[in-house]
Structure formats: structure tokens, C-alpha cells
Structure 1
Amino acid sequence: MASIDISNASVALAGSKNASQQSAAAKALGFKPSIEEVLSDLPELSGSSESSSFPQRNSETLAQDEQEKMFRALKNVLDNFEPSDDSESPESFDLKELQSSLEQADADARRGERNAGPLQNVHTILCKLWSVNSGLLSQAAEALANGSRDPSWRFPIGQSGILKFFLDVIASKEQVETGLLLHSLRLIGNSCADTDENREIVVKDNYTLAIIRHFLNPDIIHVAIPVIYNICMDYEPAHSQMAANRAAYIILSLLKDGAIPENEALLGFAYDLIELSSEQAAGVENSPDGIIWLILELALHEDIVFEQYSSLVNSLSAYLDKERFQNACIVNSMVEKTLSVLERSFTIEIDTSSKEDVQNIAQLRLKINTSLAEVSASPLFAEYYPLDSELSKTLKSWVVADEDQLQICACVMLGNLARSDEVCQTMVNDLKIHEELISVLNSDDARGAVLHSVLGFLKNLAIAGENRLTLARAGIIPAVSRLWAYDSVPQVQFSASTIARQVIISSMENIARLLAPLSEDPDSPAHQRTYLSLLLALFEKTDSAPIKTEIGRTVASICRTVSPKARDGDAEASSLLEKLFKLHEGVANPVGSMITQTQWPVVRSEGWFALALMATTESGCVTVVDCLRNEEVMEVLKTTMAGEPPSSEEGTETNQTQVQKDHGNALVLLQALLKNESDVLPIGYRETMEDLVKNHATRLLDGSQSQDTS
């Protein structure tokens, strides 16, 4: 950002009608200290007006005419004028020395140079004018401030000690007239513009705090804020110090109370400083909890413009990234206002023809939603905002809102509430919220991000076992089946696959729904295809290992529920098992993907168990053999039968119990295949499997003999 030129301009103040009432309301919250309290907690300046280089006022005397000659000589040089005849009068040693210095400075300026040496005596004269409490010091400050607008003056002003002098003026604990303070600030701001050497002088003794204290002076706030802005721009040490000195909280408080002039440029600087402070860790850590309240109040103000709203939302996001502010937001009932800030994003005026504005508002909504997701993930959230709260009712209404980000917000926050079976069952049985969620899945208008958030919420609801039947009866399987072809957003496909697995767990009724024909018309080709067929089609198309694994787990879950019942003579289970193998060629292949994946050993074990269950029936044996044609699956089988972890897990602390469990399931699989294969094994496969079983028996015998020998 470019630095600004601080001219000698004045700005009219515009007060707030309800400022006192608003301040009282904020104080009543108990977590919003006053500006004075905030400042009192900050350390004193390292440098001060009592330092040895800065004299006491009224410690000397000087004739008025000598003061005036000093001032005229100083001003003439700064205005690049030739010295006047009066300035040549050798009436005092100080005046002659000053004239000589300023003549040299003026000569340097004519050559395009600025030498700090001749300005040393300017600093001496300034100290003299201060010590005699001269009324001309304010005019001298104005002349120097005007000169400092010329970039070539800036470095010499700092090097000569003039900058330090005026820093001590604004930091003085003595009563200083407004004019002198104003021009001192102007000089500081102008001489620090794009001049890091001068900024270092300011930061070294924490003079940013002295400047910030002047925010409370209504006569000079319009200069003090731009001065801090100039010092901080593109200079991280000042940026960090300003933030640590709680400038954001102070500016926000002043804005809330209507104490900052209604000037577009000045307000722009103020809101920029608020946002800049939130980018610094020190600014966030040092801020009172009540800064959230101030940001929210201003963001919801009817007169807020987009640029200001943007700065506030960016700041809000930075604070709500921290647990302390998340908790403060919850316990002080500010989550509702945060929701309102999200709503406000849809009514605030932006330039819709500006691509930048359109992108910015989208990013701001995303940031608010991210913050609300973090807030609602806190354990405190459910305590302060139960299901029967007004906030929860608002969120429920947003599930079917017209705006994507409102829908996403509702699903994420309510989904975070759905963390216990009791709450999930209440949401389904009493609030019927699953019906609205499923209607969104069936909508042709819902976009990927909305679908993903809806599916995430439904996944939470499906964790409660008693909800699974209700969800399935409401049509969740047909609804998610539409999304298995949603290949533009793999996360949607994955979540939709996960829900299918969740709802069929231990449920014959829901498995029957998954294996139901796509068409009831027996003459339709879709009659021979099921919802599981669509899921298997996704398995063949996708390159996503997590999706493949999830589909495999769905097949494994069917086998785990149906196979034992079919073995016990359950007619329905036998019918479902026949459908599973008759209508779904290659149904064991997804289970093979569970075995070859290496991320979750427990999932691999689940896969071996499922294949073993399949192989216990003649119809299942055929599809298992088809799965074992995959060289990768066969290689893992050989390793498992050898009692070793997969090669990808060598050198890791693989759970030996898990390895033994896998070995046992693989052995059951082989024995079942050799018993039931009915000539379906390809040439060579039977011999390989027989060898694996024989090797297993040999190792057992060798182990037994070794044990006897010992």
C-alpha cells in the first residue's frame, strides 16, 4: 500500500445519536473494557519528554523578536527562499548559527541534496523554542511539517533529531496546545512515509503508543490515524507494535461511539488498520474478548459499506480462529449476530459488474462459514445453543434456503450439534430434519458444496442406529444413488457412498432396499439392475481409492449381515444373497480393494473376512475367484498366508494380532474355495491355493516339533 501525504486539512466530526446508550450496553456485557482501561494496561513509553535531550518547558527565556527571527529564517529555508535581510542581523549567536545552517541546507536542496548536518542546529533551536514555551513553536512545526512533504527532506529530518524532537512533543505529559500537536503529528507522518529509517526511530521507543493515545483527542484524531497508517504501511515492526498496542480495539470503540469523523478517506484508514491488526499474532492475543462484539455491531450497522464490511469480516475470521474468542462468542451470546453478519452479506451493496467484488464477497461468506463451523465445533456450543434454541430454529429454516452459503452454514452447525444418539434421534423423530435434507439431495438445483454439507449432516444422523430405518424409509438410498454419478465433485461421491454403507449396517430391510430393482416393470432392462449395481458402476469408473474402499466396505457389510442368517436357513437372507451374486457380476472386486489398500489394516481384515463369507457358498465362490484374478490381491494373499505384513508395511509396528487374524480369515477363504470351487478355479490357481494351505500346515507342524524338542 502507498503512504499518504498528510496535509494541513481539517475534518468535521459527526457524532452518533445513541453513542452513550451503545457504550453502556457494551459495558453491561462485562467483557468490553473502556479505551482508558485498555490503555492503562499497556506499558509506558521507553522514551519520554523527561529524557536528557528534551528540555523542560519554561526553563529558559528568549526575547520575542529573537524567537521571531529564528522562525523566519527557518521558514525561509524550508520554503526554498533566499534568507531575508532581517535574518542576516547578528543580534544573537543562536540566530547567526541557525542562519548559516539553513543557508547550507538550502544550497544542498538546490543541488537536489538534503544534508542532515546543517539541520542539527534546527533541532537546537526547536529545543530552545520549547524551553521558553514559545508560541512560535507551533508555526515552526507547521513549516517543518510542510517541508517534510518533500521526500528529500525526510531522511535528514530523522537523522538530525528533528523527528525525535516532535515524537517527544506528542509523548509529553505536559499540556501541549492542539496546533503544536497537530503539526507535530503531520511531520511525523510525512517524514515516516516510505522511510524505514524514520519508522525505526518511532518503533524503537514505542512512540506508536503515544500516537494512538491521541486517537482520543477529537481535535487531532483525523491526523493521528493517518500518521499510524503511514508508519505501518509495508513496515512489519511498526505493524506489529501498532497491533500489540491494541489500536484495533481502540479504533473499533471509537467507530462504535461515532467518535471518528465521517470522512471517506479517514474511515478507509481506520478500517484498514483494524484489518492489519488482525493479521498480527500480537494484535489478536492482546485484544479483549469484547473486540468480537464491536466487530459484529459495526458489521451489522445499516450504513456500513462493502469495503468496511470486508475489513471487519476478515478481522472477525482472524479472531474466531482462536479458541478463546470462539468461547467468548458462545458464552456472550454472539453467535446469533455472527449468523446475521453472514445474512448481511446477501444484502450489502456491491458492484456486481466488478469481478473482484463478486469474488471478494464469495470469499467473505466462506470465511464467515468457516468461523461458524469452528465455533459450533466447540463443546460449549451445544451447552449454550440446544436444539430448542432460537438459533437452532433459524439454522433449521436455512437448510432449504435459497442461498448456498446459508444452507452450508445450517448443515455444518446443526451437524456439529448431532454428536450423540439422543440428539440425532430428536432431529429425525421430532424435527423431521432428514426429510428436508433428502429433499435437497433430490433437487436439481443444489450445487456440489451444498450437497457435500447435506451429506455430511446426514452421515452424522445415520450414526444413530435407530435412525437408519427412518432415513431409508424416507428414500435416502434413491436420493444418494443419484450422486454416485456426480463425478465433478469426488467428495460428494465419497459421502454418498458412505451413507449407503451406514444405513445398511445390520439391517436386512435396508439391504433389501439397496438390492431392490431400479424399475418395478419386469420388462424394463432396469428391472435387472439394482441400486447396488449403480454403486458397482461407480467402483469401475472412479480412480479414488477411498471411494473404492468404501464401496468394498458396503459389500462386506451386506455379507456380514446376510450370510450368517442364510446359513441358518433364513429365507429372506438366502434370497438377498442370491440377488447379491446373481445380479452383480464382479461384486467381490470392491472387497479386493479393501485388501490391497494399506492405509487401514483393520479394513484389510474386514475384507478378508468378507471374502471368506462369500466363498462359503457356491455362487459366492465364483465371484471370489474372479477377485483373485487380480495379481495384487493374490500377492497380498500369499504374504498373508506366510504370516507376514504386506510389503508396504514392512518396518512398521504392525499389530501382530491383526496379522494373525488376517491369516486365519485367509485360511478359511482358501479352505472354502477348495471345497466349493466346482472347477471354477483357473488352471494353476488350485495348485497355488493347495500349496498355500500345505505350507501353512507344514509351518504348524514344524512349530510343534520345535516346541517338543525344546
Structure 2
Amino acid sequence: MENSGPISKGPAHGQGPAKPMAATEPDDVLNDPSSDSLPLKSLPEDSPPPCAPARDGEKLSKEAEEKMFRALQEIFREAEEEEDNFDVTDLLAALEVADDQSKRGRQNPQVLKGVRMALDKLWRSGSDYMAQAAEVLANGSRNPAWRAPYGRSGILDFFLRVIASNGVDADILLHSLRLVGNSCADTDENRQLVTERHYTIPIIRLFGNPEVVHVAIPVMYNICADFEPAQAEAAKNGVGYALLKLLTENEIEGNALLTYSYELVEMSSEQAQGIERSPDDTLSMILRLANDPDLSFAHFSYIVNCLVAYLQNERFQRRCISETLVGSVVSVLGQSFDIDPVNLSPEDTPGLAQLRLTLNQALSDISALPLFSKAYPLGSELSTTLLSWLDGPEDQLQICACVMLGNLAREDGICEAMIRDYNIHVPLITILKNDDARGSVLHAVLGILKNLAIAGNNKEHLGATEIIKATSPLWSLDAVPQVQFAATSLARLVIVSSLKNAARLLEPLSSDPDSPAHYRTYLSLLLSLFGKTDSSPIKTEIGRTIAAVCRTLKQKSAEDSILAERFFKLHEDVARPLGAMVVQTQWPVVQSEGWFALALMASSPLGSLAVVDCLQDIDIFQLLSETVRASTDEAPREETTNEITEKLRKAKDRDNALILINGLLTNNPSTLPGTRRDMLADLLREAGQERPLI
């Protein structure tokens, strides 16, 4: 929104005459319950702005007062009558103090010094003409040409001091505010004067005066709009809280005044000090406004932006949880979908989408806090709402539900209850099967499913609901790598320690024996992805999935033997992802996991064939040699805990490398060249093992 511009004379807006302000110093007014002012505890009590002098000077004669006032009227008569075509030269001529420079049309603050002196006399003498003089000058301030001269001549400072004083008549306050507001419109040097001398404090205080609040708010807007120093000063002095209090109590009327108020509230929330100094009940007031179904979209946007800013502050995040306000934030997000897009402008439509994204992020941050799960356990009204959103049509609501419920699903007991008692996996897997689901929704769904899959008792439920089949199309989703990686990772988590899910991974893609897909499995799809992707994390996840299958099949039961035969015979390149695990150096633990899985494979005749295929990569064979030859014997010295852990890890890697060689030499696969066999045997002898380990 642009600056409010000139503030016109208007009727007093309020009920009855203004109450007299308490005769106290400015500092005392801040917390004086008898004052018309708002009880703004956030306002500073030091460095108050200067006040106007006492009105107890020598009284002027009626003739002198009238002469001064008529001079002022004459000065600004033409400005009032022909505001759009005001001639500065005529004004200076009327003053009869114009110099040559002024006659050429240049505004000279010196011209107004006499006006400033006249004001001082009228004020000190307690003249009845003071209100009329203030009105004349306020009308003159509507002309942009005289805004800077008002500031330089001291006229603006005079009326700022009046505003900062106690016991000022309502009509004088009204026109003083008008002059300040007009003088500060698009005039940074005047705004700087207001800011540096802390005059935002008395202006904010006047929000509590029903006689002038309708002018004080636009004045504050003119001071702050597009001027960050004033925004910071006003925010620190509590402008946001003051306006929120008025808004929640329905004390502000008229769309324009409401718009200024909401925009000022948003401006205040963009300043860290404004949020940090806000009282604890600020958040509840913001939410009360944000949940008002009758808000216009513009006002809704301002207050939601303010809400999001407060929810980025740790104190208010915690208060949001402790005061059980999270449901109200969720309600704001839900309410955003009640806004009819037909009523929005082309510019508003992307703005609404952005509001939803920022709200979602705020709720994600809040639900990630440890306090959240204690305040909102599974079965609470909030979780019931979130569960219902999973079946709904709105992407952002589905994402919100997935993220918040996913943050709740951090303990095995909760994860198991989600599936056992609430069947949460059913709508989640349904979304995965939806060809029209957007990448952001898929990513959120996969995120919560990964949390659920960690709990051991959930794996069978997930597998029985065809989670592998539902996830498999996402493995080829190259256009959305985040989804591709999450889907690959989910497959691994479902397989870990689950023989039934390992069997499901090895099921044929087609039940038709005549179809080529009958001899391809879901694991084949992962291996195909491994061969195409350049993503190291995805390659690693595929390798870890294969390692998990190897662990599951090591029991060598009858069923395991059948699966093992299918595992190796249908996937001759199954060991290659394990080779990628040992070659990478980013995750040492993953490297060790790869050596262990390769050792397991080499211990069986079919598995040894796959390992030989892997060792065709010269880099992997070279690494095998280096791992066996690595010495763990070093000169005695004091070692750190990390050094000891790393030393033990390397020793285990060496042991698994030796077991791998032992398996190959024992099973003697037909694909192992004689030269390679001799090299492996030499490695064993170097390691002090004349015969293969069993």
C-alpha cells in the first residue's frame, strides 16, 4: 500500500468528549490506568521525547491574538483554496519577508521562522486561537512543497512536542497529528526527526484516545511506510501490540483505517525487537483475528504474515504449544481454503499460495519441538483433524498432516498405534498410488511412511498393503530427485529384518509366465535405477537395501534358500551396489556395512558369483587388497575415543575382507580367473592365513 497521503480535517471519531489526560509526566502515563492511553508495558520508560512548554506565559491581548491568527490565515488561504495549483511565490509575497531566492520559487525554511515564533507565543499564552492556528497549518501541510520546510523551520518539531504533552485539548491534538502525518508523507528527513527523538511513543499512546485514534493511526502509517528506521522504532515501542488490542476489541472502524492498522501490525512483526518485546498474550490476539471468517483477503494476508513471523520466535513457538494454540494455527491454514479464488485478483492468487506455504513451514517447526507430542498426543482433537486431511483433496493440507503427524511418530509405540488403531498407512499408500499426486505431497507422504516403517511390528502391515508395489513407480521419477531418494530409502526400511517384505521385493513384476516381466522383480527396478542414477545417496540406499536382504537370508532355512536362489539367479549384478558402498568414503559406517554384506554373499556358491562380478571393477579389487594389507598396529600412544572407534572399525573391515576372500577361494566360482584366484591366495598368506578361514 502507498502512503496514506495528506490527512484531511475530519470530524472527531468517538463517543462523547475526550477524557482529560492525567497531569503526569510522560513516563508516568505509560502505566497510569486512569489515562486514556493504552497500557503499553513494552514502551520504554527512558529517554522520553521533549514536550511543549507550559501554557502559563503572559496573556496576549485579543487584538494581538487575532492579528497573528489572521496573518496565518492569509498565508495559507491560497493553499487551501487552490491546493493543486498553489503558487509558492504568492505565498512568500503574502508573508512580505521573501528574499530574492524565495521570489524565484524556491522554498526557504527561513520564511517560516516567523510562523514558528508566532506559534510559540500563542501556545505559551494559552491563546484560544491555538486550535485554529493548528488547523490552518495542518491544512497547509497538505501541500507537498512545504513538508520539508515545515521540518527545517521547527514547525514540525513544535507540533510533535504538543503531541508529547499531557492535558492537550482534543482539537489541538487532532490538527497537530494531521500536520505531523502530512509532513511525514514521503519525506524521510521529517520521519528521521520523529524517529530520532522517539516521538512514536506519544503517537502510539494516543491510540488509546477515542477522539484522535482515527487520525493517529494514519499518522503512524505515514511515518513508517517505506522507512525502516521508523518501523524499527515503532515496533520496539509497541505499535503492533497497541493495534492488535484495538483490533481484537473492535475499536477500529472503516476499511481504510483497518487496512492501515493491519499493515502496521505486519510491519511491526518484521522487526525482531517488536516481537521480542511483545507481551505473552500477543499470539492469542493474532490468532483471534486470523480466524475471523469475515476478514478481507488483504487483512487476512497481513495478519497471517504477522502470525508466521511470531511463530519463528522460540518463545512464541513454546507458548503456542503450552497455551494449546496449535489447533488455532491449523484452523487458520484450513480457513485459507474457504477463500473463494473467484474473488481474488491475479496478484492475490500466488500470494495465497505463499501464505499457505509459510503457515505449513511454521507448523512444521512447531511440531518438531519435543513439547509438541506431550501437549498433542495421538487421539487428541488436533491429530483427528490432521488424519481427516489425509483423505481430503487439498495438497497443502495433506502435506501439513504428513509433516505434523510424522513429527508425532518418533516413538515405536506411537508409530505402531498409528497403524494398528488408526490405519494411517491406508490413505498414505493410496496417495502414493495416485498418478496425479504432486511431488511435494509424495515427498511428505514418504517422509511419514519412513518414520512408521522403522517400528518393527509395522513392517508386515505396510508390506501387506502393497507398499513396495506402490512405491516402485517412484524409483524412476528422475524429475523429482527428492521423491526418488525418499522412495528408495523407504524400500530399505521396509525390508530390514522382514523376511516377508524381502520376499515381496523379489516377487515378479508380472504373474504371467509368458511375459518377460515375469523374470524381473521389484529388486530389478532398483538395480536398473542404480545403473542409471548419478546420485551417490540413491546408490548407497540401494546398496543398503541389498545388504538388508543378505542379512535377512543368512538363516539358510528352506524358504530362505528358495529366496536366496531367486535373489542371485535373477540378479547377476546384485553385488555392484555393495561395491559402491565400500568405494565411497563419505560414510565410513556404510563402507563397513558393504564389506559385511559382500562377505555374506561370498560365503555361498551363488553369492560368490555375484561377488566376482563386483570385483571386476579394478577400483574395488584394489580397495580389497588395501583393506587386507592395512596394518592396525601402531606405536603405543594415548588415543582419543574417536580414534579407538575408527581403529576398531577398520579392523572389522579387514576381518570381513578376509572372510570374503576365504569364501571365494572355498566356493571357487567358475567366473573367477586363475590369476585373480592366485592374487587372493597371496593376500591370505600375507595376512598370515595359509589356509582359508571357515
User: Is this a same-fold pair by TM over 0.5?
Assistant: yes
Cα distance change of structure 1 residues 283 and 41 upon mapping to structure 2, 3 Å threshold: closer
User: 1:45, 1:63 → 2: CA distance?
Assistant: 40
8 Å contact 1:145–1:186 — kept in the other structure?
A: yes
User: 2:11, 2:559 → 1: CA distance?
Assistant: 84
User: 1:138, 1:350 → 2: CA distance?
Assistant: 49
Aligned to 2:19: none
Aligned to 2:419: 428
User: 2:526, 2:179 → 1: CA distance?
Assistant: 72
SS of 1:655 mapped into structure 2? helix
Cα distance change of structure 1 residues 431 and 40 upon mapping to structure 2, 3 Å threshold: closer
- 5+ residue gaps in structure 2? 16-34, 80-90, 633-641, 690-694
Letter of the 2:4 counterpart: I
Letter of the 1:576 counterpart: L
Structure 1, residues 520-566: CA drift from partner, whole Å, max 9, x if none? 22222221111111221222222221111111100001112212x12
SS of 1:572 mapped into structure 2? helix
**Candidates 157, 166, 187, aligned match of 2:150:** 157
Aligned to 2:107: 114
Aligned to 2:639: none
8 Å contact 1:539–1:547 — kept in the other structure?
A: yes
Q: Compare 673-682 and 297-306 and name the one that shifted more.
A: 673-682
User: 2:67, 2:614 → 1: CA distance?
Assistant: 103
Q: Scaled by the length of structure 2, what TM-score is found?
A: 0.88
SS of 1:584 mapped into structure 2? coil
Cα distance change of structure 1 residues 692 and 133 upon mapping to structure 2, 3 Å threshold: farther
Q: How does 1:153-552 map to 2 (within 5 A)?
A: 153-173=146-166, 175-262=167-254, 264-351=255-342, 354-552=345-543
Question: Is 1:663 the equivalent of 2:644?
Answer: no
Cα distance change of structure 1 residues 14 and 545 upon mapping to structure 2, 3 Å threshold: farther
User: 2:672, 2:143 → 1: CA distance?
Assistant: 92
8 Å contact 1:101–1:118 — kept in the other structure?
A: no
**Candidates 139, 146, 159, aligned match of 1:146:** 139
Aligned to 2:21: none
Cα distance change of structure 1 residues 141 and 237 upon mapping to structure 2, 3 Å threshold: same
User: 2:261, 2:162 → 1: CA distance?
Assistant: 24
Question: Is 1:57 the equivalent of 2:55?
Answer: yes
1:78 shift after superposition: 3.7
1:160 shift after superposition: 2.0
Cα distance change of structure 1 residues 274 and 466 upon mapping to structure 2, 3 Å threshold: same
8 Å contact 2:65–2:127 — kept in the other structure?
A: yes
User: 1:101, 1:165 → 2: CA distance?
Assistant: 23
8 Å contact 1:13–1:261 — kept in the other structure?
A: no
Aligned to 1:707: none
8 Å contact 2:485–2:538 — kept in the other structure?
A: yes
Letter of the 2:232 counterpart: S
Letter of the 2:112 counterpart: L
1:609 shift after superposition: 0.8
Structure 1, residues 291-347: CA drift from partner, whole Å, max 9, x if none? 222222212213201111111111111111122112211222222221111111111
Structure 1, residues 163-202: CA drift from partner, whole Å, max 9, x if none? 11111100102x2122211111121122222322222211
1:213 shift after superposition: 1.0
Structure 1, residues 36-86: CA drift from partner, whole Å, max 9, x if none? 675144223634455xxx4211222111221121122233234468xxxxx
1:434 shift after superposition: 1.3
Question: Is 1:584 the equivalent of 2:576?
Answer: no
Q: Compare 121-130 and 363-372 and name the one that shifted more.
A: 121-130
Cα distance change of structure 1 residues 305 and 479 upon mapping to structure 2, 3 Å threshold: same
8 Å contact 1:559–1:610 — kept in the other structure?
A: yes
Q: How does 1:120-131 map to 2 (within 5 A)?
A: 120-131=113-124
User: 1:198, 1:123 → 2: CA distance?
Assistant: 16
User: 1:560, 1:45 → 2: CA distance?
Assistant: 71
Structure 1, residues 193-216: CA drift from partner, whole Å, max 9, x if none? 232222221112211011111112
1:666 shift after superposition: 2.0
1:105 shift after superposition: 4.9
CA-based RMSD: 2.7
Cα distance change of structure 1 residues 627 and 355 upon mapping to structure 2, 3 Å threshold: farther
Question: Is 1:8 the equivalent of 2:1?
Answer: no
Cα distance change of structure 1 residues 444 and 130 upon mapping to structure 2, 3 Å threshold: same
User: 1:474, 1:509 → 2: CA distance?
Assistant: 12
User: 2:155, 2:426 → 1: CA distance?
Assistant: 73
Aligned to 1:85: none
8 Å contact 2:544–2:578 — kept in the other structure?
A: yes
User: 2:333, 2:686 → 1: CA distance?
Assistant: 66
User: 1:155, 1:469 → 2: CA distance?
Assistant: 77
Cα distance change of structure 1 residues 101 and 62 upon mapping to structure 2, 3 Å threshold: farther
Cα distance change of structure 1 residues 639 and 322 upon mapping to structure 2, 3 Å threshold: farther
User: 2:509, 2:12 → 1: CA distance?
Assistant: 73
8 Å contact 2:38–2:242 — kept in the other structure?
A: no
Cα distance change of structure 1 residues 592 and 124 upon mapping to structure 2, 3 Å threshold: same
SS of 2:448 mapped into structure 1? helix
SS of 2:671 mapped into structure 1? coil
SS of 1:487 mapped into structure 2? coil
SS of 2:40 mapped into structure 1? helix
**Candidates 611, 614, 627, aligned match of 2:614:** 627
8 Å contact 1:77–1:102 — kept in the other structure?
A: yes
Letter of the 1:318 counterpart: A
Aligned to 2:592: 605
- 5+ residue gaps in structure 1? 16-33, 82-97, 646-651, 699-710
1:695 shift after superposition: 4.5
8 Å contact 1:352–1:358 — kept in the other structure?
A: no
User: 1:265, 1:627 → 2: CA distance?
Assistant: 73
8 Å contact 1:208–1:242 — kept in the other structure?
A: yes
Cα distance change of structure 1 residues 48 and 105 upon mapping to structure 2, 3 Å threshold: farther
1:121 shift after superposition: 3.0
8 Å contact 2:502–2:549 — kept in the other structure?
A: yes
User: 2:56, 2:495 → 1: CA distance?
Assistant: 90
8 Å contact 2:12–2:212 — kept in the other structure?
A: no
User: 1:421, 1:110 → 2: CA distance?
Assistant: 85
User: 1:388, 1:359 → 2: CA distance?
Assistant: 35
Q: Scaled by the length of structure 1, what TM-score is found?
A: 0.86
Aligned to 1:43: 44
8 Å contact 1:185–1:227 — kept in the other structure?
A: yes
1:362 shift after superposition: 0.9
SS of 1:39 mapped into structure 2? coil
User: 2:315, 2:213 → 1: CA distance?
Assistant: 31
Structure 1, residues 610-652: CA drift from partner, whole Å, max 9, x if none? 111111222222222222233443444344334289xxxxxx9
Letter of the 2:132 counterpart: Q
1:697 shift after superposition: 4.3
Letter of the 2:361 counterpart: T
Q: How many residues align?
A: 649
Percent of residue pairs identical: 53
User: 2:593, 2:110 → 1: CA distance?
Assistant: 84
Q: Compare 397-406 and 119-128 and name the one that shifted more.
A: 119-128
1:687 shift after superposition: 5.1
Cα distance change of structure 1 residues 561 and 481 upon mapping to structure 2, 3 Å threshold: same
